[in-house]
Amino acid sequence: MEPSIWTEKYRPRTLDQIVSQKNIVERLKYLIRKNSLPHCLFAGPAGCGKTTAALAVANELYGDMSRGNFLELNASDERGIDTVRVKVKDFARTIPLQGFKIIYLDEADSLTKDAQHALRRTMENYSATCRFILACNYSGKIISPIQSRCAVFRFSSLPKDDMKSYLKGIAEREKMRMDEESLDAVVGIAEGDMRRAVNTLQMLSSAKDITPDVVYSVVNHADPADVRKMLELALSANFREAREILIKLLHDKGLSGEDVVREIHSQAFSLDVDDRKKLAILERLGEYEFRLTEGSNPRIQIEAFLAQLGIL
C-alpha cells in the first residue's frame, strides 16, 4: 500500500519517535554513535517501521544533507539486473558529501536472483563509500551471500497498546472524536500494520459520528460480531439463519468472499467448541478458501462451508 498524506505527515523523523521496536532502535542508535553502520537487512511484516527506521537513520546521520546522501528505491517496481548495474552502481560510485552514502532498497525480496547476485558484488566493491539497507517481508527470499554481508534486524508487528496510543495522538491533533470501541476496531483491522491503521484513520476523518459499524463499512471489512453469530448458528444447525447473515454480508454490505473467509478464520479460534472441532473447521475453511482463489462462486462455496459446520 502506498503511503497516504497522513502516513507521511505523521511519520517519525528520528529513532526516538519510533513506536515499539525498542531493541532495534537501541542497536541502531549505538551504531550511529560509533559511526560504524554496516550493511543492514530489515526483515518483518508490512507497516512495522522498516522504511521509517531507514529514513530516521539517514536523518540522524546527515541532518539537512540527507537528500544528497540517501537513495531510496522500491525493488518491487525496479527489480531487474539493470537497476542494480545502472541506478545503484552510479549512486554508489560517486563520492559522498560526508562519511558514506546510504542506498535503501525497499521490498528487496522482489529482486530477481540475477539482480541479487549483481547487488552482492556491488556491496563488496563500494563498501568504503556506501552502505546498503535492504528491507523485505521474507528474509528467506534473500540469497545467503547477501544475508551474510548484512546485520539482520528483525521487526515484529506492533503491539495493540502502542498502536492505540499513537493513533490517539493523531486523532487529537486532527480533532477527531473517537471512542475506545472504534479505536479498537481500527487497531483490530490493521493487524499490527501501522500504515494501514493510519490510512484507515484518514478515511474515517470525513465521517461525523465514528462508530465501530462506520469503521467496518468504510474499510469494507466484515463485522466480527456478524461473522461470529453466523458461525455459531451454523454450528448449532440453524443453517437458514446463518445463510441470511451471509447474504447480508455479501449483498447488502458488498463484501467479497475472501473478506468473509478472512474474518471467519479470525473468529474460528475464539469459538466455544473443543479443539478437535476447531481443527475440522480450519481444515474445511482452507479447502473452501482455495476454491475461492480458483474462481468459484463465493456465495455457493461459503454456503457449502456453513453446511459442513452444521454436519459437524
Instruction: Report domain extents, the chain.
Output: 5-154, 160-218, 224-311
Query: pLDDT > 90: what percent of the chain?
Result: 28
**pLDDT of the residue at 1:** 46
| Choices 3.40.50.300, 3.50.50.60, 3.10.300.10, 3.30.1390.10: CATH for 5-154 | 3.40.50.300
The verdict on domain 224-311 having CATH code 1.20.272.10 is yes
Report CA torsion sign: 187, 192, 194, 196.
Answer: negative
**pLDDT of the residue at 80:** 62
Is the pLDDT assigned to residue 59 strictly greater than 50? yes
Residues 233 and 245 sit within 8 Å (Cβ to Cβ): yes
Mean pLDDT of 152-180: 89
Query: pLDDT > 70: what percent of the chain?
Result: 95
pLDDT tens digits, residue range 282-294?
999 999 999 999 9
**Pairing relation of β-strands 40-43 and 101-106?**
unpaired
C-alpha span between 66 and 108 (Å, rounded): 22
| Cell of residue 17, nine digits | 519517535
**pLDDT of the residue at 22:** 87
Mean pLDDT of 140-149: 91
Q: What's 160-218's CATH class?
A: mainly alpha
- pLDDT-derived band at 83 (thresholds 50, 70, 90) equals low
Mean pLDDT of 49-58: 90
pLDDT tens digits, residue range 114-133?
888 888 888 888 888 888 99
Is the pLDDT assigned to residue 211 strictly greater than 60? yes
